[in-house]
A and B are shown apart, each in its own frame.
Chain A
Amino acid sequence: AQTVTQSQPEMSVQEAETVTLSCTYDTSENNYYLFWYKQPPSRQMILVIRQEAYKQQNATENRFSVNFQKAAKSFSLKISDSQLGDTAMYFCAFMGYNTDKLIFGTGTRLQVFP
């Protein structure tokens, strides 16, 4: 069975600095999808970034980028130039190729300080 592990329950970073959130996963599949979702306090989860496993190039979305290491089954999220609005719970998620089921990690609570 696939699993997703986020080993950092909480992280903090100063505004304008860079922070990296870790995620590892376990699967025997070769094709799959990986996601980072953000859940601000009392708000819904929104997609931050996604990565198709067949793409070797790491995905980037403005200040957000991933380091996808397929062999190591690692999918970390880097937030550059952190902003106060980045304060949220961040969930890493896995989806197999032939399913619509998202498998989530336990989340990392990120606090951005002024």
Chain B
Amino acid sequence: EPEVTQTPSHQVTQMGQEVILRCVPISNHLYFYWYRQILGQKVEFLVSFYNNEISEKSEIFDDQFSVERPDGSNFTLKIRSTKLEDSAMYFCASSDDRDREESASTDTQYFGPGTRLTVL
């Protein structure tokens, strides 16, 4: 069964450094997402991405964050200058295409295993 994959599984970085977290969504999916989970807290939505542009983002997703689909398979999350409070588990997810006009349903988001980011 196809799965979302993420690399690396654990990233350690110094405060102020840039990090890029990588995700390979399921191949025929067209909607992509990033979520994060700070230790002991809820999983929080960061951003959704469709047709090469951000479709929705949360208040957390400020100018320090950016997303990109550099090729036909990868989906990346960049944090330009990491802060201590960026330490968290970052989850990528993807979902299939759907036509909102014709369908009252929404497609399931399939999650990757996560990247644990530790900012020192």
- Rounded to whole Å, the gap between the CB of B32 and the closest CB of chain A is 10
Chain A neighbourhood of B108, CB < 8 A: 35, 47, 50
- Is B65 positioned at the interface, with any CB of A under 8 Å from its CB? no
Interface of A, helix, strand, loop or mixed by DSSP: loop
How many A residues touch the partner, as a band? 20 to 34
CB distance from B43 to the nearest CB of A (A): 4
A43 to B35, CA, bound (A): 16
Q: Which residue of B lies closest to A54 (CB)?
A: B104
Interface size bracket, B side: 20 to 34
Q: A105 and B35: CB pair below 8 A?
A: no
Q: Of A43, A50, A103, A105, which contacts B113 at CB under 8 A?
A: A43
B106 within 8 A of A: yes
Residue of A nearest to B32 (CB): A100
Q: In the complex, are the beta carbons of A44 and B45 less than 8 A apart?
A: no
B90: Cβ under 8 A from any A Cβ: no
Binding site for A on B (CB under 8 A): 3-4, 31, 33, 35, 41-45, 48, 55-56, 58, 91, 95, 100, 104-106, 108-114
